[in-house]
Each structure stands twice: as structure tokens, then as C-alpha cells.
Amino acid sequence: MATPQRRILIADDHEVMRRGVRNLIESRADWQVVAEAADGHEALDLARKTKPDIAVLDYSLPALNGLDLTRALKREMPRTEILVYTMHDREDVIAEVLRAGARGYVLKSDAGRHLLAAIDALAIRRPYFSGAISETLLHRFLEANGLSDGTTLTQREREVVQLIAEGRINKEIGHILSISVKTVETHRAASMNKLKLKTTAELVRYAVRNNIVQA
């Protein structure tokens, strides 16, 4: 019986990296790249249109980071497997994406065979993690019960906070998120009130500390 073709989305803001991942994926006859995105919002929009089997995501995506994109994808398309392909090997980052629903995690510094092995595993709904994750960490975050991610902001508030931290003005944020400037201001105010922050600089520091954007 023929192997079913796996439909794959790639999201990375570096064109060279996307091309490299595409070339690796297209070395396999049973894999097809159905979409490429340079930021998180574009990736979510394309995923809605193409319904990929597997999404290969960088963590540090502009507009909507890989963590929040993973949450959105798993909420809307729970059958889509998520592979985070990134340079970050910090335990807090790994823990967050595991909680968000990613079942694959490979470092960009790993050999290409790890990326291929991860897609192979996810294609048959098995998790795959490169050596960046110890067995202890894996069990801790995959098997722990009642684990909360401690998030206090809504998904939309996190999106607004990320865009503010990226230096976008309210009008730009409204355009990107397809909401009014007044709604942007409402989300900004609600976020700062929840977090007990007084200035935009404090909001940016919060975004960096909580991996919403990278410093």
C-alpha cells in the first residue's frame, strides 16, 4: 500500500532557513510543502487554508511568536502536529511549547537528519525531541498532571503585547490584527492593568522575560 503524502507548512522569518528546510523536506517523495510563511499571522492564515498535517515552526516569529502560534493551531486544528525548529535550548522555552501542544522539538544547530527524523515521527503521531531535551525534562512536562502555564493575558492581549514590544504603533497593530485603533488601545490598557505595569518600557521588559519576544 502506498504511503500517504504528508502535507507540511514551514514558518520562519529567514528566507534562507525556509529554503533549507524546504529542500530537506522535498528530498522525500511522500512529503509536500503546502505553504511557507515569514511571520506567525501569515502562518496561521495559511494553515487555515491548507490544513497541513505537520507545521514546522521557528519559535522567534514576528507578529505572532511560535508559542502563541502553536496554541492557536492546536486550538483550531488539533490534528496538525507541531514541530518547533529553533535555536533556543532554554528549558523554560521548551517547557512552554510542550505545554502548548508541540510534540516535536529540534535545534537548528542539530544535523538535518534530526529534522527528517522528527517529521517521520510526527507523521505517525509519535513525539520526537533532539538531544536538547533530557529524558527528565520530557517526562516532567509531558506526564505532569494539572500543570498550568500561568498565563494571565488572553491570546489577543498577548498578540498586542508582542507587536508593541516589536516597536509597532497602534495603527500598524490594528492593521495587522484587523481591529480598530481603539480596540488596540483597549487591549494595551487591559494588559498593562492585569500586569500592573505603568509604561511601555515595562511592557517590553515583560514580553522579553516571558518569551513573547526575544531580546
Enumerate the domain spans of the chain: 6-143, 155-209
**How far is 159 from 148, CA to CA, in rounded Å?**
20
Question: pLDDT confidence of 215, banded at 50, 70, 90?
Answer: low
Q: pLDDT band at 98, cuts 50/70/90? A: confident
**In this structure, which amino acid lies at residue 41?**
H
Mapped onto helix, strand or coil, the DSSP state of residue 114 is helix
pLDDT range class, residue 142, cuts 50, 70, 90 = low
Share of the chain above pLDDT 70, in %: 88
Three-class DSSP category at 89: coil
pLDDT of residue 71: 95
pLDDT above 90 (res 214): no
Where is 173: in which H helix or E strand? helix 170-177
Q: What is the mean pLDDT of residues 161-178?
A: 91
pLDDT in tens, 16-68: 999 999 999 999 999 999 999 999 999 999 999 999 999 999 999 999 999 99
Give the DSSP H/E element, type plus range, for residue 7: strand 6-11
What class does CATH assign to 6-143? alpha beta
- The domain 155-209 is placed in CATH, from the list 3.40.50.720, 1.10.10.10, 3.40.50.920, 1.10.3720.10, at 1.10.10.10
